[in-house]
Structure formats: C-alpha cells, structure tokens
Structure 1
Amino acid sequence: MGVKIIEKSASAYTYPLLIKNILTAPLRYAPEQEIVYRDSHRYTYREFAKRVARLAHALGDIGICAGDTVAVLDWDSHRYLECYFAVPMMGAILHTLNFRLSPEQLAYTINHAEDDVIIVHQDFLPVFEQIRPLLGREIKVVSIAEGEQEFQLPEAVGEYEELLSWKSDDYIFPDFDENAAATIFYTTGTTGRPKGVSFSHRQIVLHTYGFISGLCAFESFVSVNSGDVYLPLTPMFHVHAWGMPYLFTMLGAKQVYPGRYEPAKILELVAREGATFSHCVPTIMHMILSDPSAEVTDLSGWKVVIGGSALSQGLCVEAEKRGINLFAAYGMSETCPLLTIAIPKAHMLQQEGDLTIIRCRTGLPVPMVDMEIVDPDGKPLVRDGKQKGEVVVRSPWLAQAYVKDPEKSEELWRDGWLHTGDVGVIDPEGYLQITDRIKDVIKTGGEWISSLELEDLISRHEAVSEAAVIGVPHEKWGERPVTLVVLKQGFGRAVTEEELKELYEESAESGLIPKYGIPDRVLIVSSIAKTSVGKLNKKALRETYRTALSN
C-alpha cells in the first residue's frame, strides 16, 4: 500500500511559497523600522513596500511582464533591495550582474540570460557603453543618478527615481507557481564561460527559513533576531548577498546598505547605525581591520559571518581582540548558498576553553541539508575526521541545473547528489572541514579565477612552449595566481618574465580577464611536472612552489 494523499477541498487555498510573502512579516511586526543607505536615504518598511509597488508599476509600464528578465548593475543599496522584491514578485526574473567581470564576460551573461531591461548606476554607465557593441539584442536601460551626475545615457527609458516618483504605491502582486524562476546570476567558479544559476521562489523562501533555523534557533555564541542591525558586506550581485537581505527583511530588522565598499565609510556606518551583524569574505575583514579608523571604532558586539574562503585562526583571533564575534559558514553559488554554519553544540558551550577552532571550522550542516563525503565511486566515507572525500549535498534550495547547459548540469548532479567539487573531512561530531578543491581554479579575495583561461592567454605568446597556472597562498587574498612558463628553444634570452606578465595586463585592459586575474608573477622554468598520462600535475606544482612563492 502506498502513501495516502490528503484530500483537498475544492475551495481550499494552497499557499504558495513566494517572495512576496517574505515581505508580509515586517509590515506586520515592524512597519516603522528603518532601512538606511549610506548618508543619503533613510525610510521605513512601510515606505519600502510602497516603493516596491511603484517599481513594479514602472517596470510594467516599460513593457516588463512575467517571465521577462531584469538586470541590475548597482552598488549595495536600498534600490537593489527594492529590486530583490519587486522584480520576482511581479513574476519576472532578477539578474544580478557581477560588475567585477571583464566586459566580455559581462556581455556574455547579459546575452545568455536574455535580459530585457538593465537598471544601471551612473558609475557603471561607461562600462555599459563599452559592452553595448557586444550585446546581441535590444535592451532597455533605466539609469540611476546619484550625487553629481557626470555621465548621461540619452537613450535610457528613464531615471530610476523619476520613474518611481509618479507611480501608484498600490500594486496587487499575483499568485503563481512557487517553482517559477525568481533570480539568475552567473558563477565563474570553473573553467570556460560563466555558468548561469537560477533559483525559484520556493527555493529562496525555504533558504530563508534555513537561515532562521541555522542562525536564530540554536543556543550558540551567535544570537540573531529582529533586534539586530544588518549591514551586508558581500556584494548583492553575489548569490543574493548570501540570501541575508531576505532573512533580515523577514525578521523586520534594521538594514544598513553601504554602497561602494570603503573601509572608513563601513566603519562609520557600523558605529553610527549600531550595526550588529554582517557577512564578508576574509579579504574584506582584513581590509577593515587594517584601516586606521578601526583603531578608534568600537566594534564590540559586531557579529560577522566569514565565507567564500577559509577563515584562518589568525584572522579570527585578531577580530576577537577588536571585540568582533567572527565565525565561518560555507556554501557555493549553486547552493543558494547556505550549507553549513560553524556554531558549537550545547555541550561545547559548557566546556571551558577557546572556541576559536570551532569558529574556524567549515561547520555543521543546517537543518534540511544532507551532506556526505564520498570516494571517487560515490561511496560515503567514514566520519572520522581523517578520511577525505568530495563533499556532496542535498537540500530543497539547491540549483537544479545550470541554465541552458545540460552537460554541465549532469556533472553537477550525479547519482542524485549535488557535487560541490570541494574535498573535505567530517568528524565524529558531524563538523565539516574543507581541505582542498578538486578543480584547479584559484580563489582570490572571494572571487574565482580560471587557471586554464590564464594558461590559454599566455600560450598565445610566440615564445611560450607550455604553461601552467597555480594558486599560491596569500595572507590577504587567500590565494594569488602564479604562472609557470617553459620557453621555446631560441627565446631564452629574448623574452623576460616582465614582458610575459604584460600580456596579462593587456588582456585585462582589453576586457578578456578581470584585473584581479592578473598573476602576481610569471616564472620562466626549465620544465613543468606532469602526470603519467602527460597532464599537468597541478598538485605537484603547488607542493613545489607554495612555500617559495607564498606572499
């Protein structure tokens, strides 16, 4: 006998898990709570909801319908938060554009996502002009003017604030299938072109509840609730700012958006607005702690989640000296991103001693996340803290496929588990610790760099016989790329390492790679280690050069 399905009345309402329902809670519990943008904007959730309605009307008036795609190119702002809600709530798809991509990559993502409208801040209008010739379709543009406007785009359909100013603040957002696409963005975490990742309303709502259960429910050194003041320090284009804006909107907490990341301004906002919760990659935390303003700013009571790269014990201890409550979390673009949070179990809190090691672990899977480490055959390994395997996961908020890429999608999902490409161990308490990455991509300051792309670029030089790019440890950036080159015979004295590095600099200037992708060094070597089948032995190269080239 099979399972029994509950009978449903003909008049029963099936409540869909839609983003519009996240906005219900703050309007009920905290309508007068504030949302702040730098020094220029401050309004309540009640006013926020009205602006969300006006934005939906404005987009509808320029032709945006359910299923269309609206891209955003802006700093972290109250406007971006409005787009997080208005665009998917009207049934359209929000494309968060990564302004750190090269122009060529940025244009590719716009074409691939089939964007219909781009909302672009004036600071990025020159970039948009640069990529315009690469766009394969007609795209409407809404400009954002801020401060003294220095760059105009005459053909824009309107300016953001002007379009909202005369719209109705009454908009009835429709019900529709909770599995409808809500967002799309692009990850450059592997070789080749950026891959599109899309999430549904259902996934984002469940991910929000996953954060509530992981951050708000358990006894821990971290206590997050509606009384916190939220200041994001992960770009809003990156995996929905880790999904945190949806969480803190549902909680009705005060939110403070910093715009362009400037250490002194961030510290000023922390002090002035009383920020108590943020999230960032280690590079940003290094940047903040290194700023002179940090010495005179009271940072006690500031809780900060570190993700994107491993949290070192050194950074954790330094932050604790400043009064910052630092701890790690783990996820990836394809997982929306939350998978684990480094919080202690109850019995650990009762023990005397330092919890730094716990804070720096990759963490415990949050509720509704199943996680295993598996061998190359997909067999689960023992959780003894020693056996290493690939981390595979299941959860209701994982990306089901890469957009328009069935082959890569099948690689992502094998045997019904999402394969993260990370290698780690799980200890007897259930804590995950990432120890390595399967693919030879390099992660610097929270951003991925493709080693194969860099190898391909340098191989175009007439003097290069073969090349390998590896990541070496760096105290500030986590990793930095270094290129190893074997020259063709006869070029040994004619070509210098600096000349080869200039090729990368020219590639960055022409938009082929982002500037942060320029290798720190290009070394001319006599040979490059290879495996028994003739492939580049990246593992051996890293072991050989990591100590000599670190920092």
Structure 2
Amino acid sequence: MGFYNYNLTIDKLLDYGASVYPDREIVYRDRRRYSFSLFSENVKSFAQSLIKIGVKPGDKVAVVDWDTDVYMTAYYSVPMIGAVLHTVNVRYPPELILKTVLHAEDSWVIIRDEFVPLLEKGKNLLSRFKGVITYNDDKEKIKTSFPTYDFWELQESGERLSQQEIKEDMQATVFYTSGTTGDPKGVWFTHRDLVLHSMSVALTTSKPPLRSSQEDNFMILVPMFHVHQWGFPYVTMLVGSNYVLPGRYDPAMEIELMKREHVTFSAMVPTILYMILSHPNAQKNQDLFKGWKVMIGGAALPSGLAHLARKMGINIAVGYGMSETAPVLTVGYYNSLVERLNEEERFLEQIKTGVPIPLAQIRVVDERGQDVPRDEKTVGEIVARAPWLTRSYYKDEERTNKLWKDSWLHTGDLAVVDKYGYIRIVDRDKDAIKSGGEFIPSLILEDIISTHPKVGEVAIVGVKDEKWGERPVAFIVPKGEVKEEEIVEFLMEKVEEGKLQKWWIPDKVVFLKEFPKTSTNKIDKKTLRTQV
C-alpha cells in the first residue's frame, strides 16, 4: 500500500469534532439543536444527496440565507464533495447580488424562502442554473419556476455512502467584496487554506486575553456570508465549543440567546456590540456580560465603546484582516512583552490592531518597501504573507497583479507599529466607506448620483460615526438649483429599482461651487473629509 498522502480538507475538521466532542451542540435560535455527531450525520447525508441530484466537483453552489443551521450544513457539505461554496452577500442590492452570482458562474443555489422572489426577478439571467434547493423554517415546500429540491427532503434521504477522496488544493469557497471599487471582486480559497486558517485562529483565541476553550459557548455575530464568518464554523469543531446561530440579527434575540444558551464567546464588528450594549434589555441583564469574551474586527473599535465594554466586565480583543486574507491576520492577544505589563497597559495593547497570528507574516512598509521603525509615528502600508491568502481575484488578472505586488499581499491599510510590535491602523488607502462593518462602495453611489440631471460632479466620503463606525456624506457640484431632498428622493427611487441599498443613502449632502483637486487633477477626498 505504501505511504498515504494526507490532505488537509474540511471534512477532517468535521470528523474530528464529531469524534472528540460528539455531545457538544449546534443551536439555531429557539428552533433546532443538534449534537456534533448528529450534525455530522446530517452534513454527510445532505452531501450525498447533492451528488445524487447532479452536483459535481467544481460546481459553484450559492447560498442565500441568514445565519442558520442550513447555512452551517452547507459550510461543510458543499466543499466536501469537491464543489465550491459561494457565500452570497444578502446585504448587496438585488442587482449586485445577481451580478456576483453571474460572475461566479453559479449553477446551483441553496436559498431561504424569503429570498426566492429575488431569483424569480432575475430568472432571464440565470439560465445556467441546474437546480434550486429551497427551505423554510417550518419545513413547508416552496415552489419556484426553476427545477426545485427541498432541503429537508435531501438531508433526510441521503444515503450513508463511503467518503469520497478530495484534494487539499481544490477550491472550497468563493465570495465577493466591493472593497474600493464599484465592481465586486471575487476571492477564493482552497481546503488547505481554510484548514490552516482555522487551526491558527483556534490557537490564537485560546491565548490571553480571550482564552477560549471547549468550556465556552460561541455565538458569532459576523454574517455567515462575510469572509467565512471569520473561520468560526470550522474553529468550533477544533475546540469543541457549543455553537449558537442567531438567524437574522436582532439585539433582543441575541441577548435572549446569551441568557438561555449561556454564551461566553462572541466575535463581531463594533456596531453590533454597540447595538447590544445600548439595547434596553442590556440594562436589565448587566450581569450577563461579565466575563463575556469578545473578538472585535471589521472596523476600528472606538475607544469609548472599548472602555464601556471593559466597565461592563467584557473581555475584549481586536482582530484584523480582510476578505482577501480569509480573513484573520492579527489579533490583540498578549505577546511575551505585553504579558508583563500592568492591566491598564495591556488593555491599551489588546484594543490595537494587534500582532500576527501563527503562520502569518505581517510587515508595515514605506514606499520603498522598507519596514517602518517601531516608533508608533511612522506610517506605512500593511503587507502580508500567510498560507491561506487568496491567490488571485477571480477572473481579474489586472487587480491581482496590484494586490500581489513584489510577492506580498498589499492590504491598502496604513498603520504604525509600537515598541512591542503591535500594529495600529491609522487610515485606509481606500475610498470605500465601512458602515456597521460592511462596505458601502463609494464608486457605485457616485455613479448613481451622477445620473441625476442636476448633478455636475459628485464625491462620496466617509465620516466617523459613533454608532456605525462610518457613514457616507455626498459632496455635489450642482448644475443649476437642486435641494438635498431631491437627491434623497432620487436615491430612494434607485432603492426601489434594486440598484442600491437604503442604508447606503448618504446622511448628508453638501453642495460646493467646485471641488478641491490633487496635483493629478483628481478630486481631493482627503480635503473633503476635513470639511465635514
């Protein structure tokens, strides 16, 4: 027989969790719960049914859903048959959702009942679809004009066949990030990428100050469509923590789940933390938050919110990454130097951007590619290497070359480094606005506003917001007389047409006679930000 070449594939994580922690649980809201062993059986049964209905290795399978047990099943079952999981951003406007589905060349979709009308609306564009797998929480049948399968029937009818062999270098996932431009960029990852990333995150979160373990109950408040939910659907099988899925986000439900399921560990963007802590139910359940471990990422953590969390007994640490990096690169855990500091000094370090997680190489470099000094003053760009970074933007060679200039992944994030080696992001070399942890692509918004007959030039900039992190402001050089209300009404019409999301609409419109310009005759957005 000889040597066996062991492949790092996602099914190995599932098998480990079911074998070592068989009685740990996955809980979906107040509706369903499964032991790890039962969940593993369900995943494998559904995977076999996917093969039976014709899903082949390499097929792209879109998932359109909230954070549910169905989504969690797809995280494992789709990649483990060699197909590719496309986690669709349901917060995109309908037009952009369809655009990403077409660009990814999806041929199957797993979709929650409430999103089915979106498919019907774009049916004339989705001729390559081989089948639609629908589901409803009450297990009722959903009718569509596509060839349709019921998720629950497929999960129950799957045969228990022997596991088929897949390779670690096979593509496992793809998803889209708007980032700095109007056109979404596809990033993709292999099984090996995700296994190594999950192992590194599991090791990192076990360190102080978070100290996660199998005694913790996870409730991750990062959408499952967003960068692998930071890897935690896979991490939970490695560490043996119960996993609570909240469905569609609602602070009241999240607080209730925290109480009922004894949640002790979460990850989220600052806005979600703000919404939970400012909810009236939080005031009635303050003891609930004592000892809660929270990993923050996706946007800068306002210091006011960090100190409020600390005051309430929450143990907080900041992480950093991006869609292109699967995503975690750094976390504010204690290195050997910071561990010796007093409590106040340690706290200030753990709420910075942090230090690299295991196997990640992170540098902050100047324009010549030289490392900046550790003086917490000299600004440089964060560049990265790790064994789980995306190799390329999907079908986009030009932007891939820019991303991987000089064989380092260029994040476009500007930062400083302190004497302990902790990174702190000070600015973004990007025009996209991050509101509530989600990008508002400024170029799409500018393009839409520019179609108004009374708009000459337009620029969108992000300004700091206590609740959302950033919110958009529109600067317009008008053609003739125009009022702010007219612009807002125009954008509301575009929301109805499915061209943008309502939450993208700028909070303020500022009219100027002319724009400040850079030396290359571009609109100077840096100057505009100082005017708000």
Which runs of structure 2 are paired with 1:448-459 in the superposition (5 Å)? 448-459=439-450
Check if 1:105 corresponds to 2:81. no
User: What code does the residue aligned with 1:225 have?
Assistant: S
SS at match of 2:106: coil
Aligned partners of 2:191, 2:205: CA distance in 1, in Å?
21
Aligned partners of 1:40, 1:281: CA distance in 2, in Å?
26
After superposition, what is the alpha-carbon deviation per residue over 1:426-483, rounded to whole angstroms, capped at 9, x for unaligned? 1121101001111211111111122222222222122222121111111111111111
Given the two structures, how large is their TM-score scaled by the length of structure 1? 0.93
The change in CA–CA distance for 1:162 and 1:457 in structure 2 (over 3 A counts) is: same
Give the structure 1 partner of residue 416 of structure 2: 425
8 Å contact 2:414–2:429 — kept in the other structure? Answer: yes
Which region of structure 1 is more displaced relative to structure 2, 516-525 or 100-109?
A: 516-525
- Alignment partner for residue 42 of structure 1, among 33, 52, 66? 33
After superposition, what is the alpha-carbon deviation per residue over 1:63-122, rounded to whole angstroms, capped at 9, x for unaligned? 101111111111111211111111111111111111101111111111111111111001
- Alignment partner for residue 190 of structure 1, among 177, 180, 188? 180
Shift of 1:156: 4.6
Aligned partners of 1:166, 1:62: CA distance in 2, in Å?
12
After superposition, what is the alpha-carbon deviation per residue over 1:183-240, rounded to whole angstroms, capped at 9, x for unaligned? 1111111212111110000000110111123122x3x222011121111100001111
8 Å contact 2:86–2:174 — kept in the other structure? Answer: yes
Give the structure 1 partner of residue 81 of structure 2: 90
8 Å contact 2:139–2:152 — kept in the other structure? Answer: no
Give the structure 2 partner of residue 334 of structure 1: 324
Which runs of structure 2 are paired with 1:29-178 in the superposition (5 Å)? 29-147=20-138, 152-153=143-144, 155-168=146-159, 170-178=160-168
8 Å contact 2:47–2:158 — kept in the other structure? Answer: no
Give the structure 1 partner of residue 493 of structure 2: 506
Give the structure 2 partner of residue 536 of structure 1: 523
Structure 1 stretches lacking a partner, 5+ long: 1-9, 546-551
Which region of structure 1 is more displaced relative to structure 2, 95-104 or 153-162?
A: 153-162
Give the structure 1 partner of residue 380 of structure 2: 389
Which region of structure 1 is more displaced relative to structure 2, 350-359 or 436-445?
A: 350-359
Aligned partners of 1:156, 1:291: CA distance in 2, in Å?
43
8 Å contact 2:210–2:294 — kept in the other structure? Answer: no
Which runs of structure 2 are paired with 1:305-454 in the superposition (5 Å)? 305-354=295-344, 355-454=346-445
Give the structure 2 partner of residue 496 of structure 1: 483
Give the structure 2 partner of residue 290 of structure 1: 278
SS at match of 2:79: helix
Give the structure 2 partner of residue 21 of structure 1: 12
Aligned partners of 1:204, 1:329: CA distance in 2, in Å?
17
Structure 2 stretches lacking a partner, 5+ long: none
Given the two structures, how large is their TM-score scaled by the length of structure 2? 0.96
Shift of 1:296: 2.1
Give the structure 1 partner of residue 461 of structure 2: 470
Shift of 1:154: 5.5
Aligned partners of 1:469, 1:166: CA distance in 2, in Å?
52
Shift of 1:350: 4.0
Give the structure 1 partner of residue 476 of structure 2: 485
8 Å contact 2:199–2:238 — kept in the other structure? Answer: no
Which region of structure 1 is more displaced relative to structure 2, 250-259 or 398-407?
A: 250-259
Give the structure 2 partner of residue 280 of structure 1: 268
Shift of 1:519: 0.9
8 Å contact 1:96–1:184 — kept in the other structure? Answer: yes
- Please tell me the root mean square deviation across aligned C-alpha atoms, in Å: 1.6
User: What code does the residue aligned with 1:92 have?
Assistant: A
- Alignment partner for residue 261 of structure 1, among 246, 249, 267? 249
After superposition, what is the alpha-carbon deviation per residue over 1:102-160, rounded to whole angstroms, capped at 9, x for unaligned? 11111111111111111100121122223333335234111111138696425452211
Aligned partners of 2:289, 2:372: CA distance in 1, in Å?
42
Aligned partners of 2:420, 2:341: CA distance in 1, in Å?
15
8 Å contact 2:213–2:240 — kept in the other structure? Answer: no
Shift of 1:356: 3.2
Number of positions where the alignment pairs a residue of Structure 1 with one of Structure 2: 529
Shift of 1:543: 1.6
- Alignment partner for residue 509 of structure 2, among 495, 498, 522? 522
Aligned partners of 2:315, 2:184: CA distance in 1, in Å?
34
User: What code does the residue aligned with 1:506 have?
Assistant: E
Aligned partners of 2:91, 2:123: CA distance in 1, in Å?
17
Which region of structure 1 is more displaced relative to structure 2, 294-303 or 203-212?
A: 294-303
8 Å contact 1:328–1:342 — kept in the other structure? Answer: yes
User: What code does the residue aligned with 1:342 have?
Assistant: G
Give the structure 1 partner of residue 218 of structure 2: 230
User: What code does the residue aligned with 1:384 have?
Assistant: D
Give the structure 2 partner of residue 214 of structure 1: 204
